């Protein structure tokens, strides 16, 4: 029990470090911002930091914790963004506005993206590895393209939906078109703020950290490590992979809500909801470390900030990303490099502490 | 005294392509018995385990647990819930997780609580987590693994990994435990110790154990009954001492 207690403490301090990191960053930003010391460029990045952090942390649940390669994460973000913006935009048309609508929008975004995750997950999670990656990528693109083609309006007869044009909707005079095809949704109320983003990020992190230390989370990790063994102890692969996938999708949906209500115009572009975005999120996860929540956040923030600071290099952003991704993957998976890391670990045992060893050294030290 | 048959296999066969990996296999294991399944490499021993645990579906035959429960046709998860647990010839641990978590995961069926109560730490979460921690640790103690509880399971030495697999299987509280070459790769001392542990497990947890071994010497010490398998067929079956006297067995094993 001693050892277990020690390990729990270690985990707790890791978790606390994540919360502290976010809370301190938030406090510093708020302080500087109140003194007007923050550039407008940086100010504009505050909500995206939160959006991308939520996306990275939630994709980590699929890729790092569940061990499935998904390239369609931005698609679920798209679902959350559009469903919630349709709601708030229509409410605005009806003359109803207020922050409480944002709370409802978040619930709508999370729920709809979660349901999409579930429905897509059922057929798709039967596949593994590269096949799963390709199919999720395709689904992500499909979602984005559908969002791009939808015309949606309301009138006294209810909802009107078309994939052709605004005329095809057949709205009455009192009707209102919310989604205009490729032009998307314009005039979305601006509900997102850095504070809201930080709160949502904290909630996301709490859910994930609690999940991975619960029965469900352990079952998910067991399936990742050895599916056959997990089934031999009675764990249903489909059930737990689906749980991980839909929770992550719902969280991506929340990121979408945050994204949509930070802009006045919401359109589905390859840049924001396409595979480019999905891969960018994957880069955050890979660079931050598989299964490492804190790493995902740091990677998301740093890699969102960096290209903005190097505006001149904007065109090369994806190129730099790809190169960095390849380099990191080589470093983390090549056996020869792993060997070097092992040698390094053996030379400096203190840097790479093993809990069992740590106990001994601590006692001797006292 | 009437002895209860815990596991009964009738006419079990499976073919892969044209290969009859297991043919007309029959087996009756009594409750609380330690039963040996031996045979040369490729005889079909592991395949029988895979049939018993629903990994493969038999071409023909039936499997019954405890006289009433039909096993054939069920999937691995259902079979585990019905009371059959196994270890693997090629160790399959949850590599990246701790030794303790490996066992804790196997307790997931006994201490069920929902994903929601896990996420929000409500309801049974705290009580069940505490119970699981305790029970997993108690099991590790049986196998002398308690000092490695927080180690990553892939960092355990080979012999201990095998023990951990057994502990994990037992954590699912099975009626029948299937051990696939548990002593493979162990030296003589480790093997002896392991065999004692297996006996202890049988008595302590009141389990019926089917043990695959490749080495005849080993089985002699602990198994009450034996089946010898060769090329997918039963070569001999019965009480250990009788089987070991069987001419065909001696021929197949010693190549004389
Ligand atoms: N999934 C499979 N597909 C094809 N052949 C298999 C499969 N599983 C086992 N076999 C074959 O069945 C035979 C028995 O294998 P196995 O049960 O592993 O033997 P062992 O007695 O050494 O455990 C071998 O010839 C093996 O190649
Ligand atoms: Mg075998």
Residues A305 and A45: beta-carbon distance below 8 Å: yes
**Boundary of a domain, candidates A241, A275, A309:** A275
Which tops the pLDDT comparison, A326 or A133? A133
- In chain B, residues with a C-beta closer than 8 Å to the C-beta of A235 are 77, 105, 108
3-state secondary structure of B185: coil
- Are A121 and A26 members of one domain? no
- Are A53 and A97 members of one domain? yes
Domain tally, chain B: 1
Does the distance separating the beta carbons of B93 and A221 come in below 8 Å?
A: no
3-state secondary structure of B152: strand
pLDDT at B213: 87
DSSP per-residue string spanning A15-76: HHHHHHHHHHHHHHHHHHHHTT-S-HHHHHHHHHHHHHHHHHHHHHIIIIIS----S-HHHH
- Are A66 and A133 members of one domain? yes
CATH code of the domain in which B226 resides = 3.40.50.300
Nearest by CB to A215, from B113, B147, B155: name it: B113
**Boundary of a domain, candidates A275, A300, A315:** A275
User: Would A135 be classed as within a structural domain?
Assistant: yes
How are strands ordered across the β-sheet holding B60-65? B19-30, B5-16, B60-65, B69-70
Choose from A231, A232, A354 for mutation: most chain B CBs within 10 A. Answer: A232
Would you place residue A358 in the very low, low, confident or very high pLDDT band (cuts 50, 70, 90)? very low
Does the distance separating the beta carbons of A219 and B105 come in below 8 Å?
A: yes
Does the distance separating the beta carbons of B148 and A356 come in below 8 Å?
A: yes
Residues A304 and A49: beta-carbon distance below 8 Å: yes
Domain tally, chain A: 2
CA distance A253 to A257: 6
- Of all protein residues, the one whose alpha carbon is nearest to atom 5 of ligand 1 is B16
CA distance B45 to A220: 30
Q: Cβ neighbours of residue B254 under 8 Å, at least 6 residues apart? A: none
Would you place residue A338 in the very low, low, confident or very high pLDDT band (cuts 50, 70, 90)? low
DSSP per-residue string spanning A60-99: HIIIIIS----S-HHHHHHHHHHHHHHHHHHHHHTT---H
H or E element, residue B191: helix B188-205
Strand partners, A84: none
Does the distance separating the beta carbons of A234 and B109 come in below 8 Å?
A: yes
User: Would A318 be classed as within a structural domain?
Assistant: no
3-state secondary structure of B230: strand
User: Would A72 be classed as within a structural domain?
Assistant: yes
Residues B68-117 pLDDT 10s: 888 888 999 999 999 999 999 999 999 999 999 999 999 999 999 999 99
Does the distance separating the beta carbons of B112 and A222 come in below 8 Å?
A: no
- Are A58 and A201 members of one domain? yes
Query: Domain range for residue B43?
Result: 5-98+167-254
Across the range A44-58, mean pLDDT stands at 97
Token pair recorded at residue B15: 């073919």
Cβ(B42) – ligand 1 distance below 6 Å: yes
pLDDT exceeds cutoff 80 at B3:
no
- In chain A, residues with a C-beta closer than 8 Å to the C-beta of B141 are none
Does the distance separating the beta carbons of A233 and B150 come in below 8 Å?
A: no
- Of all protein residues, the one whose alpha carbon is nearest to atom 11 of ligand 1 is B21
pLDDT at A53: 98
User: Would A280 be classed as within a structural domain?
Assistant: no
Question: Is the minimum CB–CB distance between A357 and chain B shorter than 8 Å?
Answer: no
Choose from A2, A229, A239, A357 for mutation: most chain B CBs within 10 A. Answer: A229
pLDDT at A33: 93
* Distance of residue B117 Cα from the nearest chain A Cα, in angstroms: 9
- Are A3 and A110 members of one domain? no
Residues B106-150 pLDDT 10s: 999 999 999 999 999 998 999 999 999 999 999 999 999 999 999
Cβ(B169) – ligand 1 distance below 6 Å: no
- Are A19 and A58 members of one domain? no
pLDDT exceeds cutoff 80 at A311:
no
Which tops the pLDDT comparison, B219 or A69? A69
The pTM of the full predicted model, rounded to 2 decimals, is 0.90
Residues A142-184 pLDDT 10s: 999 999 999 999 988 888 988 888 888 888 888 899 999 889 9
CA A302 to chain centre: 15
Furthest CA-CA distance within chain A:
82
Percentage above 70 pLDDT, chain A? 87
- Are A165 and A221 members of one domain? yes
Altogether, the residues listed in chain B come to a count of 256
CA distance B2 to B96: 47
- Are A30 and A50 members of one domain? no
User: Would B231 be classed as within a structural domain?
Assistant: yes
pLDDT at A337: 66
**Boundary of a domain, candidates A275, A307, A338:** A275
Query: In Å, how far are A13, A356, B151 from A362, measured between CA atoms?
Result: 17, 10, 17
Query: Domain range for residue A84?
Result: 45-275
CA distance A3 to B150: 6
Cβ(B46) – ligand 1 distance below 6 Å: yes
- In chain A, residues with a C-beta closer than 8 Å to the C-beta of B80 are 231-234
CA distance B109 to A222: 14
CA A112 to chain centre: 15
User: Would A142 be classed as within a structural domain?
Assistant: yes
- Are A73 and A218 members of one domain? yes
pLDDT at B16: 93
CA distance A56 to B80: 36
The radius of gyration of chain A's CA atoms, rounded to the nearest angstrom, is 22
- Are A170 and A244 members of one domain? yes
User: Would A190 be classed as within a structural domain?
Assistant: yes
User: Would A321 be classed as within a structural domain?
Assistant: no
User: Would A357 be classed as within a structural domain?
Assistant: no
- Are A112 and A30 members of one domain? no
């Amino acid at each position: 029990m001693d050892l277990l207690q020690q390990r729990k403490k270690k985990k707790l301090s890791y978790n606390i470090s994540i919360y502290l990191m976010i809370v301190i960053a938030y406090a510093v930003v708020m302080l500087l911002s109140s003194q007007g010391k923050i550039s407008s460029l940086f100010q504009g990045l505050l909500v995206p930091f939160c959006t991308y952090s939520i996306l990275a942390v939630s994709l980590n649940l699929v890729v790092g914790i569940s061990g499935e390669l998904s390239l369609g994460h931005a698609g679920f973000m798209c679902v959350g963004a559009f469903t919630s913006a349709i709601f708030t935009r229509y409410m605005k048309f009806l003359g109803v506005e207020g922050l409480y609508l944002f709370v409802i929008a978040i619930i709508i975004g999370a729920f709809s993206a979660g349901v999409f995750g579930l429905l897509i997950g059922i057929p798709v999670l039967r596949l593994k590895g590269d096949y799963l990656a390709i199919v999720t990528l395709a689904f992500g693109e499909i979602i984005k393209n559908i969002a791009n083609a939808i015309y949606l309006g309301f009138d006294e007869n209810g909802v009107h939906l078309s994939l052709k044009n605004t005329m095809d909707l057949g709205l009455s005079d009192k009707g209102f078109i919310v989604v205009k095809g490729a032009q998307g949704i314009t005039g979305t109320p601006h509900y997102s703020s850095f504070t809201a983003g930080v709160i949502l990020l904290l909630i996301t992190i709490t859910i994930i950290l609690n999940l991975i230390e619960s029965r469900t989370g352990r079952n998910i990790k067991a399936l990742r490590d050895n599916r056959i063994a997990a089934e031999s102890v009675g764990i249903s692969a489909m059930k737990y992979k689906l749980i991980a996938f839909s929770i992550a999708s719902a969280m991506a949906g929340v990121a979408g809500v945050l994204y949509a209500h930070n802009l006045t115009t919401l359109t589905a572009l390859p840049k924001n909801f396409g595979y480019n975005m999905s891969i960018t999120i994957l880069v955050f996860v890979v660079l931050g470390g598989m299964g490492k929540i804190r790493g995902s956040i740091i990677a998301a923030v740093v890699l969102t900030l960096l290209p903005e600071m190097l505006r001149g290099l904007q065109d090369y952003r994806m190129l730099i990303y790809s190169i960095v991704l390849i380099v990191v993957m080589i470093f983390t998976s090549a056996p020869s490099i792993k060997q070097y890391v092992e040698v390094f670990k053996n030379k400096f045992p203190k840097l790479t502490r093993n809990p069992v060893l740590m106990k001994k050294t601590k006692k001797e030290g006292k | 005294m009437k002895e209860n048959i815990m596991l009964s296999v009738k006419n079990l066969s499976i073919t892969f392509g044209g290969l009859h990996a297991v043919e007309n296999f029959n087996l009756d294991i009594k409750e609380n018995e330690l039963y040996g399944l031996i045979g040369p490499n490729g005889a079909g021993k592991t395949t029988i385990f895979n049939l018993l645990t629903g990994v493969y579906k038999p071409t023909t035959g039936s499997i019954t647990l405890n006289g009433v429960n039909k096993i054939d046709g069920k999937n691995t998860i259902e079979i585990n819930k019905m009371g059959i647990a196994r270890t693997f010839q090629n160790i399959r641990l949850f590599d990246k997780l701790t030794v303790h978590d490996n066992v804790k995961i196997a307790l997931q069926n006994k201490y069920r609580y929902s994903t929601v109560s896990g996420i929000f730490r409500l309801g049974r979460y705290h009580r069940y987590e505490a119970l699981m921690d305790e029970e997993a640790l108690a099991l590790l103690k049986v196998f002398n693994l308690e000092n490695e509880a927080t180690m990553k399971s892939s960092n355990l030495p080979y012999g201990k990994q095998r023990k951990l697999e057994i502990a994990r299987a037992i954590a699912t509280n099975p009626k029948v435990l299937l051990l696939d070459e548990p002593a493979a790769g162990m030296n003589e001392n480790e093997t002896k110790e392991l065999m004692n542990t297996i006996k202890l497990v049988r008595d302590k947890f009141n389990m019926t154990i089917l043990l695959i071994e490749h080495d005849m010497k080993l089985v002699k010490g602990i198994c009450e009954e034996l089946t010898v398998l060769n090329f997918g067929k039963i070569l001999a079956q019965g009480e250990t001492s009788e089987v070991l006297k069987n001419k065909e067995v001696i021929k197949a094993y010693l190549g004389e």
